[in-house]
Structure 1
Amino acid sequence: MSAVSLGDLARTFMLRRQNVALKADAQRLSTEVITGLAADTRRKVGGDLAVLNSMDSSLALLAARSSITTETAMTASAMQTALAQMDGVASGLSLDLLSLTPGGSSTTIDQLGEQAEDAFRSAVSALNTQVGDRSIFGGTRPQAAAVMDADALLGLLDTVAAGAASAADVQTAIGNWFDSPAGYAGLAYGGGDVLAPVTVGSGKKVTLGVTANDPALRETLKGLAMAAMLNRGALAGASADRAELAQIAGKVLVQGHGERVDLAARLGRTEARIEQAASAAAAEATALKIARKDLLGIDEYEAASRLQATQSQLETLYSLTARLSRLSLTDYL
């Protein structure tokens, strides 16, 4: 039988083709060993990709909802923190205001006025809380501050209360301004309407229906503003009227406590629904990933053995290529 030989060029192409094929096998087997999944999914499922595509679509939808749910949960948590801050300063101040006796000293009243203005500023800051670059109490206008700057708002209130001759006059002026659509809602509130419901799960929606224009929050600001007027020159020199105003502001804040608690409770129920939806989505995603692993899973031990064999073949091919490249006619002459 005559021997069949290969020319140098043909041998080079043959070795190159084998090198490329072995490298591709090594890459594929490496991926399979690392992931535990078949690299050629079409071949693994016998060409029927319907089930796999359905799983991947469901996982993609769950991932998108997870992002929305996480953002919604963060916003709800920030709202709860802000509400707790507002209730804390309002409740603490109300006790101090109501403890003031009708014959309280001017110094004590002045100190309560300073405390009230600080509490008012703290409440405005809480209402202007942002998550990322979104104002959480701004409703459909999250890009704007929910409430105007505290200094500007106090300046407006100074004008509103100007000319008041009694504690009842201050109460009426401040109260009417906060209740009027042309007052707080039209001038100080910078947000929009309540947000639409957000989908956080299959058939599950939640609403973060709290804005800085909520009646409970507006009532709290109203009581704080009345007390803050004690530090803004209202009823100057009339100690009895100033003490009466402190009592009125304290009662407004106490009466608003129940509304603030109800608001926090409502938000807490929303947080619970968000958490339930997140847990259900996580369980569904886990089940889908397990099913996908069962569908595309491989014998990792077998893949590792084949990878080792392929690497040995590559090493042999490199050695053979190096030896052939050193062959020379002069070695046989």
Structure 2
Amino acid sequence: MVSITSTASLANALRKTIVDTQNQMSKAQVEVSTGRVADLGLALGGGTAQDVSLGVRSADLSSITNSNAVIAARLSTTDTSLETIATTAQNFLETLVGAQSGAGSDAQAIQDNAVSGLKSLIGALDTSIGGVYLFGGVSTSTSPIADYFSDPPSASKDALDQAFVSAFGVTQSDDAVGSITQSQMQSYLEGGFSDLFSASGWTTSWSSASDRATSNRISLSQIADTSVSANDSAFRGIAAAYAMVADSGVTKLGSDAYNEVLRTATTTLSSAIGDLTRLRASVGVMQTNVSNANDSLTAQQNALASQIGALENVDPYEASTRLNNLTTQLETSYTLTGKIQQLTLTKYI
């Protein structure tokens, strides 16, 4: 039996070989450059579902890790703000104690110190990162504390002024303030003034923050508080101490009423600093929780990467060798195709 093979059929066969080789080379090039299987579905078959599941979980872990980075930055700034508040409050407490012992009892200087401290407190509580107010609780888009010293007067300033007039019948700048007795001042500070810094009074005229702290998912299984609120008792107490010295007409008060302001401010501020220490400790716990969660996330991500790699990764040496062999095969096919195309009967007649 005689088999007849034409030049055209040989050329067509080689063309098919060239196309197949080019497809294989394309996949091999992807595998050499990425280190991963070019066609996961073809390579893994039934294992594709497992690979997809591992990839989804890895993406989830990466998302939480990225979120934790933002949370860690916010907590770090929160801690810095609390440190500033604590340092300023402690310095003012020392000033108050010194004034009561007879040292540095200049009423105007102490009032100026209180004004500066209150401004610093408000500025710290209104700290924001990327438009997120750190002390707003879940109300992160609005500054928690309005400027007490604004023009026109803030709600907090109006409320305090009204409380003072209700108690004494005069404003803080009136010379009649000098006639206020120690017992009258004590009643005011423990009554109408104190009410302004109660939980309800604070949120009525001072703060627009939410009591509820923000919470975030910091690991696959853990949701934790990640902020503190400007409504905390520590901030209310510190603000009260500053405000009673800054805006009770201390430069016009008689010595007994003036000393009552200093005494009450000292007691209030001392207690608030204790509350602030507790609050700073809670922020430290939050930072530790996020750090520990990140360590756990990293370990889980490494384990998943190993499992995914076992399914998807290729041997780089084998892939490179295969690519070289395919390149040689393609070049040979091109050469044979050229020679076949040159075969014509006219050359032999």
TM range (shorter): 0.7 to 0.9
1:161 and 2:160 correspond? no
Q: Distance in 1 between matches of 2:319 and 2:37?
A: 10
Q: Distance in 1 between matches of 2:194 and 2:126?
A: 22
1:122 and 2:140 correspond? no
TM normalised by structure 2 equals 0.79
The SS at the match of 1:125 is helix
Q: Alignment identity in percent?
A: 22
The SS at the match of 2:99 is coil
Aligned to 1:147: 145
Q: Distance in 1 between matches of 2:335 and 2:205?
A: 83
1:204 and 2:222 correspond? yes
Residues 124-151 of structure 1: CA distance to partner in whole angstroms, max 9, x if unpaired? Answer: 1111111222112112211111111242
Q: Contact 1:100–1:247 at 8 Å: present in 2 too?
A: no
Q: Distance in 2 between matches of 1:126 and 1:13?
A: 79
Aligned to 1:248: 264
- Unmatched segments (≥5 aa) in structure 1: none
Q: Distance in 2 between matches of 1:119 and 1:256?
A: 14
Q: Distance in 1 between matches of 2:101 and 2:24?
A: 91
- Residue of structure 2 aligned with 1:176, choices 195, 206, 211: 195
Q: Distance in 2 between matches of 1:168 and 1:18?
A: 100
Q: Distance in 1 between matches of 2:162 and 2:22?
A: 81
The SS at the match of 1:45 is helix
- Residue of structure 2 aligned with 1:218, choices 227, 236, 239: 236
| One-letter amino acid matched to 2:137 | G
The SS at the match of 2:37 is coil
Q: Distance in 1 between matches of 2:21 and 2:262?
A: 86
Q: How far 1:52 sits from its partner (Å)?
A: 1.4
Give the RMSD, CA atoms, in angstroms. Answer: 3.3
Q: How far 1:185 sits from its partner (Å)?
A: 0.8
Aligned to 1:238: 253
- Unmatched segments (≥5 aa) in structure 2: none
Aligned to 1:38: 37
Aligned to 2:24: 25
Note the 1:1-333 alignment, pairs <5 A. 2=4, 4-6=6-8, 15=15, 21-101=20-100, 108-152=106-150, 153=154, 155-156=157-158, 157-162=160-165, 163=170, 165=177, 166=180, 167-168=185-186, 171-172=189-190, 173-179=192-198, 181=200, 183-195=201-213, 197-208=215-226, 210-229=228-247, 234-238=249-253, 240=255, 241-313=257-329
Q: Distance in 2 between matches of 1:86 and 1:258?
A: 12
Q: Contact 1:223–1:253 at 8 Å: present in 2 too?
A: yes
Q: Distance in 1 between matches of 2:46 and 2:227?
A: 49
TM normalised by structure 1 equals 0.82
Q: Contact 2:233–2:272 at 8 Å: present in 1 too?
A: no
The SS at the match of 1:252 is helix
Q: How far 1:265 sits from its partner (Å)?
A: 0.9
Residues 85-107 of structure 1: CA distance to partner in whole angstroms, max 9, x if unpaired? Answer: 2111111111012101476677x
Q: How far 1:310 sits from its partner (Å)?
A: 3.3
Q: How far 1:244 sits from its partner (Å)?
A: 4.0
Q: How far 1:300 sits from its partner (Å)?
A: 0.8
The SS at the match of 1:151 is coil
| One-letter amino acid matched to 1:161 | F
